[in-house]
Amino acid sequence: MSIEAQEKKGMSVSDEVVVEMIDVNKWYGDFHVLRDINLTVYRGERIVICGPSGSGKSTLIRCINRLEEHQAGKIIVLGTELTEDIKKIEEIRREVGMVFQHFNLFPHLTVLENCTLAPIWVKRMPKKEAEEIAMHFLEKVRIPDQAHKYPGQLSGGQQQRVAIARSLCMNPQVMLFDEPTSALDPEMIKEVLDVMVDLAESGMTMLVVTHEMGFARQVANRVIFMDQGQIVEQNEPEEFFTNPKSDRTKLFLSQILH
């Protein structure tokens, strides 16, 4: 175990596989967007995926809860293979939370209703209990006082924190983050990252598509670099940043870290 990993105290990784992708391929029309992806995610891992735009990193994590369909290969999430079976897809989505670049909060519902919608309708939870859980997570993301406002009344950073709380209310086993800070103003990025760091420290399995390299160094136990639809390099953050092996990775890092 590296020193790096020891410093990230309380973030233990077990050998239980939660997501497994085997030779996954996907095309948009004729465009080959995912090429032979092989990836195994263990419980408790914090994986940061980076890469130039159009490299397929968003598509990769969107395949995990089947917002995108893969055309070849296997994806197994929590022991269930993703197929056309709608019931199984819904089961998996219940266990996999997702946070989007543009928040995608429901504008016609209050913050609290956004958080309780899925627990009430999907988990058949009594409203009171759902609200208690929602308030718990809203406190965790530090905005319990905004519970009765509408998303349109919040700042971008606040909205994104609500979106994280909304996903957490379903008590997911895996969290997917699709560029959660790209649509935010600089001063709001930190408040969202702080919440994500807290989440990582609590032992959540996370796959994060982001360019926030500081975040990667701080919490990730693995960084994946993608280009042209394939995994070009993956390693522990320390190694990845100090000693990149592939030329493409070096070029990318030099551009992003200046």
Distance of closest approach, residue 245 Cβ to other proteins, in angstroms:
4
Binding-site member from 20, 179, 212, 233 for other proteins (CB under 8 A): 233
Site for other proteins in 42-81 (CB under 8 A): 42, 65, 67, 71-72
Phi–psi pair at 53, nearest 5 degrees: -65, 145
Binding-site member from 112, 213, 227, 237 for other proteins (CB under 8 A): 227
* 179 sits near other proteins (criterion: CB under 8 A): no
Q: Which is nearer to other proteins, 189 or 226 (CB)?
A: 226
Site for other proteins in 189-218 (CB under 8 A): none
Q: Which is nearer to other proteins, 117 or 253 (CB)?
A: 117
Binding-site member from 15, 53, 187, 255 for other proteins (CB under 8 A): 15
Binding-site member from 83, 153, 171, 254 for other proteins (CB under 8 A): 153
Binding-site member from 141, 181, 249, 252 for other proteins (CB under 8 A): 249
Site for other proteins in 86-145 (CB under 8 A): 86, 90-91, 93-94, 96-98, 100, 102, 104-108, 117-118, 120-129
Distance of closest approach, residue 33 Cβ to other proteins, in angstroms:
9
Distance of closest approach, residue 134 Cβ to other proteins, in angstroms:
13
Q: Which residue, among 50, 59, 64, has the nearest Cα to 227 in the 3D structure?
A: 50
Binding-site member from 7, 9, 10, 30 for other proteins (CB under 8 A): 30
* 148 sits near other proteins (criterion: CB under 8 A): no
CA angle 199, 204, 205 (to 5 degrees): 130
* 9 sits near other proteins (criterion: CB under 8 A): no
